[in-house]
Amino acid sequence: MGLTKQYLAYKPVSSFNIIASGRANISFVTINHAVGRYVVVAAAEKVLVWDMRICEKVVEFVRDKQEVTFLRTSPDHKLLAVGFSDGQVELFCFESKQSVCSFASHRSAVSALNFDLLGLKLVSGGLDNDLVVSDIVAQTGKCRLTGHTAPITQACFMQRFPDVIVSSSKDTQIKFWNIETQCCFKTIVDHRTEVWGIVLMRNDDFLVCGTADTQLSVYKIASNMDTLSSTMAVQNPEDESTVSPFRCTAAGSIQRAGHGRTINLVADSNGQVLGCHGTDRKIELFYFCSQDESVKKLAKRLKKLKTNKATSEEGQDVQDGNVRQLALTDEIKRLPTVSTPEKVKSFDLLLGSRNELRICCTFLKNFVQLFSLNVDAKGAEPETLYALQKQGHSSEARTVSFSSDNLAIASGSAESLKLWSRASQGVLRTVDTDGYVVSTCFVPGDRHVLVGLKSGQLLVVDVVPGEIIERIDAHEKELWSIILTPDKHGCVSGGGDTTVKFWSFELIGRSDGSEQKVLSLLHKNTLKLEETVLSVRISQNGKYIAVALLDTTVKIFFLDSLKFYLSLYGHKLPVIAMDISYDSTLIVTGSADRTIKIWGMDFGDCHRSLLAHDNTVTAIQFIPNTHMFFSCAKDGKLKQWDADSFQKIITLPGHLGEAHALAISPNGKYVVSCGSDRTLRLFRRTDEPLVLQDVQEEEREELENATLATGEESTVPGLPGLRLPSKKTIGSEKGAENILECLEVSKQYDEEGGKGALPPLMFAYSATNTDEFLLTVLSRIRASDLEESLLLLPFSAVCELLEKVPKLTVERKDHTELICKVVMFLFRVHQKPIVSNQVLLPVIQKIVPTLQAAVEELRDMVGTNLHAGQMLQRELEENDGCVLFRDATKQRIQRDRRRKRREASKRKFLQIVK
């Protein structure tokens, strides 16, 4: 079938305007050995790394159309763990700027992430009340910890006890988990309100937690061995826990100066400085002194109380006694409070050399600020080093428009008008409007922009100096719509005061008496109506003016005489947006009733009514010189339609929240939209043709893939409580299908004697025999999806797979690790049916010795290579007379350390200078 009509596809170019999302956290990152200069933030579905010194974007990570909810950098600053709203956890590499692996961990948004001390394990908490521990090296889930009854708020590894995880939840509980036993061995139930954050301080000596009140609870953690050695005898043996390796006792509380609940608790990497903030505009800082500093403070305090317990003659015995008398006031010191210009959404701390503390903050108004504080200096106050503020609107952009040369984009928000370069997506001008912008329009020549405010004022903005040259009180209420007249000599505005006003462009002299003239608007005529005007459009032939009213109708008047011509009624709710085609034959209207109606301008008849969106239609515009148009709505989607065939052409990837407005460039090649996720999204028309049947088929497949064919739950007969550290995904279902298809094709090929032409599927995998075919299929399944794929296999397929294992183990020893992983999982899940199946007995008897021999051989090979390498190193060191892979002498080491300290001090000095 030939193409009846060819459409060209629009593809996303980029999204801009957003500096940092309010939902995710902010974190310091180290790039090129520069500490305290770069920060990583979430920007809707992207992750951005900003250079705070030059205020520029350095790195950008993108996964999919899912919002980023949490960020965490690894201890070696090489990996970035990103949690998304769909429960996925993605690992990105800073060096390659690519995704390393992903974990399908949770069934809802990720709310907490943390690495262990070495960066080999990752714990994630989600809104599905579960904790998942993942192995970074094996790229698979390790275990799932269930026990909380409300969403997880924070989770972290302990340093002194590496297999212990501490987690907090909205169920008011703090739990301690053991990874090896996968169980909770201790629970703190002291709180009556939600626990919003926990943090471990000073090498796990203290546990601080924040709740819905204005106090921070502090718990002291001590090893059981330390406790026994200090007390020499336990007073109550029944109170001593035989399960927990440490004691966690309440040490007191810290009274916050701020108001409202504790929102965030953050500590620096060494656990010395604790920061917290509530619902107000301040960040409170606390310094946890070392044990020596605490003892000195205690001695001073006792001296003031005129006691004899801290005399210098008693020496170390008194010092050991003082350790047991330490109070929280001796161990915690309050630092100066950081006052912020707005309410803080998230922040991060970094304690650098010379005890300079850096605090980076994100705010609801879409900007990032970096503060500096000298911890040692007395009376030091926090100072602002850098601020990222000019790169985006402080609030949601409500309107966008294109210049006539397709090069500039104007966007308006609650406080400003910004002009953007379409090519670089950078800010050209920022104009403070002192009012809420609801409509914009470029004046012919692109030198000026007309701005309509919610107060009814009409602003004339000069683009070159970026200033407002005139304020006109055009309407008494909201100025919802501005449109140029077809002759480009004037404009028409419609407002909430039920009037449509006609203006002409005039050049007048400046008020300062200079000869240079400036643009102004002269009021020509007024059309008075009965209802609020929501939108105004003029036909290109200059005959008609269409006005959308609050009474759900669209009234069309003759432009010259303003006499009534037609009334378009049929919408159930008011018409929010409309547009007239280039040939003045069609008018499309979009309403709050979610429908788009296509009308004829000659008789006012409705050609077609389309149920276009899932929410209110907010903007509609025709592509110039065509009968195709774009629409956007509060469901966040952008859709392209054909007004002749009444068909939807394509749905573009829209906004994460509502879409407020869109604009199409005069040449029809670009589309820009703005939405509640604070992004401006730019799309470009490509030369790729679209076939409607193919597009519709792809959309149907996406809908089918959104619902898993095998259901959401991973169920196995006989194992009702199976809790894998992963969730079922499309990838795991496809992996199971590939394994089943591989086994079926291999069985048919083996029945034919293994001769003749290879099956097409084996040829596609570049496999020469069935064993290689099976290994290739298994190795191509993502490591995090392998267990879920094996879980979906029927038991008959499991038996076939196990029968092939002995031969695979002997012939392909390079895949010993993969084969072991598959066999161990199948044995663990299908233990009872495998044991009760007598046919598999000889197979198991072959698998066990062959796998053991393969693992031992692999272990011996690794050990041989390790010790051989060490022997070669020793020989080279003896022959060359120097230490291999290290600096030659201690003097060289000391020189390098001194040089690095000098460079660090210079770098830090340069960073602070503005």
Q: What is the pLDDT of residue 319?
A: 52
Q: Is 238 helix (H, G, I), strand (E, B) or coil?
A: helix
Q: Which residues contact 688 (CB under 8 A, 6 or more apart)?
A: 8, 9, 11
Encoding tokens for residue 756? 């003749």
Q: Which residue has the tokens 């591989």?
A: 742
Q: Is 303 helix (H, G, I), strand (E, B) or coil?
A: helix
- Give the sheet arrangement for strand 246-255, strand by strand: 197-201, 206-210, 215-223, 246-255
Distances (CA, A) of 378 to 30, 338, 358: 29, 15, 17
Report how far residue 84's alpha carbon sits from residue 798's, in angstroms, rounded to the nearest whole number.
34
Judging by beta carbons within 10 Å of its beta carbon (0-12, 13-18, 19+), is residue 283 exposed, middle or buried? buried
Which of 282, 280, 278 lies closest to 335 in space, CA to CA?
282
Contact criterion met (CB below 8 Å) for 427 and 441: no
Report how far residue 621's alpha carbon sits from residue 171's, in angstroms, rounded to the nearest whole number.
49
Report how far residue 327's alpha carbon sits from residue 462's, in angstroms, rounded to the nearest whole number.
64
Q: What is the pLDDT of residue 226?
A: 60
- Give the sheet arrangement for strand 99-104, strand by strand: 68-73, 79-84, 88-93, 99-104
Which of 364, 369, 376, 378 lies closest to 339 in space, CA to CA?
369
Report how far residue 618's alpha carbon sits from residue 609's, in angstroms, rounded to the nearest whole number.
17
DSSP 592-604: TTSEEEEEETTT-
Q: Which residues contact 297 (CB under 8 A, 6 or more apart)?
A: 289, 329, 330, 331
Q: Which residue has the tokens 């009514």?
A: 609
Q: Which residues contact 727 (CB under 8 A, 6 or more apart)?
A: 87, 104, 105, 106, 107, 712, 714, 788
Encoding tokens for residue 596? 């788009």
Q: Could you tell me how many helices (H) and strands (E) the chain has, helices first? A: 14, 56
Phi, psi of 787 (to 5 degrees): -65, -40
Encoding tokens for residue 472? 């006109």
Q: What is the pLDDT of residue 911?
A: 39
User: Taking the chain (914 residues) in consecutive chunks of 10 residues, what is each chunk's mean pLDDT?
Assistant: 70 93 92 90 94 91 91 93 93 92 92 93 94 92 92 93 92 93 91 93 91 91 66 43 80 87 91 91 90 82 64 47 70 90 92 87 93 86 90 93 94 94 93 93 93 93 91 92 93 93 88 75 92 94 93 93 92 94 94 94 92 94 94 94 92 92 94 94 92 85 74 65 80 89 89 80 86 90 88 90 89 88 89 84 89 91 92 83 56 74 55 35
Cα three-residue angle 62-64-70, rounded to 5 degrees: 70
